[in-house]
Chains A and B, each alone.
Chain A
Amino acid sequence: DIVMTQSPDSLAVSLGERATINCKSSQNILYNFDNKNYLAWYQQKPGQPPKLLIYWASTRESGVPDRFSGSGSGTDFSLTINRLQAEDVALYYCQQYYKTPPTFGQGTKVEIK
């Protein structure tokens, strides 16, 4: 299985500042045929299911605020939350869908400093 490793495990950011979460895959998840990175990001608030934020590493899901952005390629990816708001406090997961089974990172907890 492809192992997804996120860093840090948690971070505290001041309101209005930027939060950056990293995700590293154990193998390349860029498919040369279509030049797409097979990576998604999810947000999970307490007591709720995960919510899809980003797919193809950088495509924002409909309705997701533009302060959320994804970047990276190959094995190294990032989720950036600009202008952090109180409602962004959550766990964030990356997920690869390059190979079966789809696998998730261990999660990164974002809190307010």
Chain B
Amino acid sequence: QLQLQESGPGLVKPSETLSLTCIVSGGPISTDTYYWDWIRQPPGKGLEWVATVYNSGATYYNPSLRSRLTTSVDTAKNRFSLKVTSVTAADTAVYYCARRRPTTVTTGYFDYWGQGALVTVSS
């Protein structure tokens, strides 16, 4: 059974960088079939797609956040990561990592999700 687990600091100061890692178990991240994505959910609000990474290292970002995002993959350690720079209170959210069944390199639906990691931006 595939499992995803996010890890990272729960509190980040404004203007600093948020860093999260998603560890994948029960299946290889190097598969050609799926993409690996980040989705966030501000407290009490809806879901927002953030970024995606493929096993080759190819990345794609939500245009609204692109200038502040970096995502990467480590196939040897079966994990992928997200960095968000210059964070503000608006970046406070539960960040989920998820596996995506692709219809294109940037679209598709999400069939496995991590439990989520709450990241609060506050001084």
Contacts and interface: CB of A to CB of B under 8 A. Distances in A.
A52 B46 CA distance: 16
16 contacts: A38-B103, A49-B96, A49-B113, A49-B116, A50-B47, A50-B96, A50-B110, A52-B109, A52-B111, A55-B109, A93-B46, A93-B47, A102-B107, A102-B108, A102-B109, A104-B46
Interface string B89-115: 000000010100101101111110111
Contacts of A93: 46-47
Most B-side CB within 10 Å, residue of A42, A100, A103? A100
B63 to A, nearest CB: 7
Interface residues of B, number: 23
A99 interface: yes
B113 A102 contact: no
A24 to B, nearest CB: 15
Interface of A: 38, 40, 42, 48-52, 55, 61, 93, 95, 97-107
Given A97-B107, A100-B104, A50 B46 contact: no
A93 B98 CA distance: 16
Contact of A104 (B47, B106, B108, B113): B47
Contacts of A42: 110
Contacts of B108: 97, 102
B67 interface: no
A88 to B, nearest CB: 19
Contacts of A97: 103, 107-109
B110 A52 contact: yes
